[in-house]
Chain A
């Protein structure tokens, strides 16, 4: 219900701008020319070429920089000129069949159907005497080369990453899945930006219900602009109030391909190297691509380490505060004594100490991301030396809290998905407040609430915490990454036949 309310928003984009959409293409090419000039205006990159002195006058319209101009000369203008010069009985209907392009030429009667393709790099041709216009795909624009993904690196595994160009991204997927069942459905999102969005899925694998749900939500999406998957994610997510991401955003084609092969749905869009995978589960945020490329025993260890680090990054400062200010009897005597020695002369309570250090760390982290590259070393010197060491030496905080905060910070970088560590980052502060006010009791209450919340989440209508709750038989790739031959083992077969 929450979801529907958020999706059914009133149209926002100005309706006067839509007036052109229903203008029909006229038989008189000059009229069309006028319409084009009205709609596209005097922009310098809009090229409207009117060949009026030909037997059949025609107009070619395209956006400079989005199309291959050489191809226009060679494949469109040249053949038409040759044909008009050579033939005797030139009729408008035959003009378009003269052009020599490999991609499909589409016919349109309404300007509404012509303008958007033109803006996306197609060439429009209006012919005098015909009440149809043609669009010819001749997109050509500079793209970035395929690079190694920066946000998700692996030691072993492919080094290709998605880029900002949709077409190249689909190629990257196709090259990994050469299967006719791989389908891409296209649609446009954003009343202003008209961004191309593709929904990729395996027809025989994907859950039809989930697919319909995704398409439905994307169609109903009413927004002015989208530039990144995150903007779509927030708008079509059914869980409004949760710190946990319910879409996986990845820039690795191998992850996206694996998700497709598992029957998940991938949402890709023009202009960002990140694609969205849905539906996802809680545990899938602990599954890195490398888990499947290295030997299973190592993967099991690494995945357990990842779960541990997630726990640390949520709870360590909270637990430290609770234990040192409420439950000192839990600390081994010698550790307690050395913690107490560090605290001698520290003016703030443990909670304030932790909060100060956490906030300082968050500031450093944000500065580290946002600052211009050349300043980097200055920030790290100030961060590491001045704040780490001098804060202790000045008696502002105790050394133990520096260890706690830095361990927490390092743990939060272990998650293979950046968005997921953000959840831990937010919840950490809440837990610290609870721990500082009611101690371990607060931590337990928090954990209970957290698990209840996780169990109540859904991703595209599918339970988020599944394979743990609701518990399923498919446990071979959850907390542990069991070997690929797991299902052929005697143990598994026996267990399966018994249950």
Chain B
């Protein structure tokens, strides 16, 4: 009896002496939804913390009396020597405990990426147990991260979510089916000796009132939205250039980051007009081909084409004509891949992971080439082989144009 009582006492003590360590009520937390990093004028790092105001975010749905006021998000900015120092200093200006586990996007200013490089932020982000390594990264094109994080957006009250979702849900024309996650960048840069590429974002039309909730009242949406545009090319960890839309698609196809994208042709063979397609189920295989001293890469792209638009005078009902169309799409795909490769080669940034492929398939050659791979990469031949099969012409066969005659 005595034994069991003392055992019980020990158990109770063990439980009670832990206190309520780590316990934080929801109204003691500040949920960080986006993190922005900029280069300050004095060379320090400026961190922008976009935090959620739950009351403003949930609107009137919460029954709690004091909820439901103010903007949905607020952005705190603070400078420090490093990201961590800035965030620690932020403790002095934010009213609650900062929680990073629900971060939606990590935005880095172009200046910071160009001059300081992205390397200094990774140790903190990887070491912090709250930070999700799956957070998508963006580069603020031609602007500061601050510009991106100080804009109220309609539809999604949370701008970070808005930014993140357009990659997942709506951006066919970028070719990106998913964002570039923080862990991928770390893996590419530190594990695979591959240069990172990160999608760029900027405010579509800058407006002086973008940081006030009143902007949400106007019907014009262009001044309160972001545009995913281009892809930042990095050499090691420094930004060296931008790929434009077509090049970005090419990059996305080679790296297998796409499985759905839109394709436009400027002509229908020799006739005037345009063809529009959506390509789905895109599958990419890259193979290094060694011929003597020459290294080349074959990029096989397969997929299914869905005809969306025909503005030229072709007989869509003719199977031969459809065969030709398949050729046109494949041509566009090959062109985009070529452009991407040319841009990357010009900047000597191996953003496709060709080096790693070589290492995997021909380690003996990689051992020789490893040291001067950057030079080698610039000379490498890439042969795109696209095979997009047309699956359907959509809800009708002949074009409207054709019928009129």
A residues near B (Cβ < 8 Å) are 324-326, 328-329, 333, 336-346, 349-350, 392-393, 395, 398-399, 434, 436-439, 442
Minimum C-beta distance from A58 to chain B (A):
61
Distance A340 CA – B31 CA, assembled complex (angstroms): 9
Give me 13 other A-B pairs in contact (C-beta within 8 A), A399-B64, A438-B18 excluded.
Answer: A328-B102, A329-B101, A329-B130, A333-B158, A338-B61, A340-B31, A341-B58, A341-B62, A344-B27, A345-B66, A350-B25, A437-B15, A437-B18
Closest A residue to B132 by beta carbon equals: A329
Q: B25 touches which one: A349, A434, A439 (CB < 8 A)?
A: A349
Instruction: Assess the B29–A328 pair: CB atoms within 8 A.
Output: yes
Minimum C-beta distance from A129 to chain B (A):
63
Minimum C-beta distance from A440 to chain B (A):
11
Minimum C-beta distance from B339 to chain A (A):
37
Distance A344 CA – B67 CA, assembled complex (angstroms): 6
B residues near A (Cβ < 8 Å) are 15-16, 18-20, 22-27, 29, 31, 33, 52, 54-55, 57-58, 61-68, 99, 101-102, 104, 130, 158, 161
Distance A457 CA – B51 CA, assembled complex (angstroms): 52
Across-interface contacts of A393 in B (CB, < 8 A): 63, 65
Distance A494 CA – B252 CA, assembled complex (angstroms): 53
Instruction: Assess the A326–B23 pair: CB atoms within 8 A.
Output: yes
Distance A498 CA – B65 CA, assembled complex (angstroms): 66
Instruction: Assess the A338–B64 pair: CB atoms within 8 A.
Output: no
Q: A336 touches which one: B19, B20, B31, B65 (CB < 8 A)?
A: B31
Instruction: Assess the A328–B63 pair: CB atoms within 8 A.
Output: no
Q: A345 touches which one: B19, B20, B64 (CB < 8 A)?
A: B64
Instruction: Assess the A345–B18 pair: CB atoms within 8 A.
Output: no
Across-interface contacts of A399 in B (CB, < 8 A): 62-64
Pairs of residues from A and B, 8 with the lowest C-beta to C-beta distance, nearest first: A329-B101, A341-B58, A345-B66, A340-B54, A341-B54, A341-B62, A344-B67, A342-B62
Instruction: Assess the A343–B20 pair: CB atoms within 8 A.
Output: no
Minimum C-beta distance from B15 to chain A (A):
6
Across-interface contacts of B63 in A (CB, < 8 A): 342, 392-393, 398-399
Minimum C-beta distance from A350 to chain B (A):
6
Across-interface contacts of B29 in A (CB, < 8 A): 328, 340
Minimum C-beta distance from B100 to chain A (A):
9
Closest B residue to A433 by beta carbon equals: B15
Across-interface contacts of A337 in B (CB, < 8 A): 31, 52, 54, 57-58, 158
Determine the main DSSP class of A at the interface with B. helix
Instruction: Assess the B64–A343 pair: CB atoms within 8 A.
Output: yes
Minimum C-beta distance from B54 to chain A (A):
4
Across-interface contacts of B15 in A (CB, < 8 A): 434, 437-438, 442
Minimum C-beta distance from B193 to chain A (A):
32
Instruction: Assess the A325–B27 pair: CB atoms within 8 A.
Output: no
Distance A110 CA – B15 CA, assembled complex (angstroms): 64
Across-interface contacts of A325 in B (CB, < 8 A): 23-26
Instruction: Assess the A329–B55 pair: CB atoms within 8 A.
Output: no
Q: Which of B15, B23, B68, B101 gathers most chain A CB within 10 Å? A: B23
Q: B22 touches which one: A340, A341, A436, A439 (CB < 8 A)?
A: A439
Q: Which of A329, A350, A393 gathers most chain B CB within 10 Å? A: A329
Across-interface contacts of A438 in B (CB, < 8 A): 15, 18, 20
Distance A336 CA – B19 CA, assembled complex (angstroms): 25
Known A329-B130, A333-B102; contact A341-B23, beta-carbon cutoff 8 A: no
Across-interface contacts of A395 in B (CB, < 8 A): 64-66
Distance A345 CA – B96 CA, assembled complex (angstroms): 14
Distance A342 CA – B54 CA, assembled complex (angstroms): 8
Instruction: Assess the A346–B57 pair: CB atoms within 8 A.
Output: no
Instruction: Assess the B26–A328 pair: CB atoms within 8 A.
Output: yes
Minimum C-beta distance from A177 to chain B (A):
45
Minimum C-beta distance from A146 to chain B (A):
48
Instruction: Assess the A324–B26 pair: CB atoms within 8 A.
Output: yes
Across-interface contacts of A434 in B (CB, < 8 A): 15
Instruction: Assess the B102–A338 pair: CB atoms within 8 A.
Output: no
Known A344-B27, A344-B55, A437-B20; contact A328-B67, beta-carbon cutoff 8 A: no
Distance A341 CA – B69 CA, assembled complex (angstroms): 10
Instruction: Assess the B23–A344 pair: CB atoms within 8 A.
Output: no
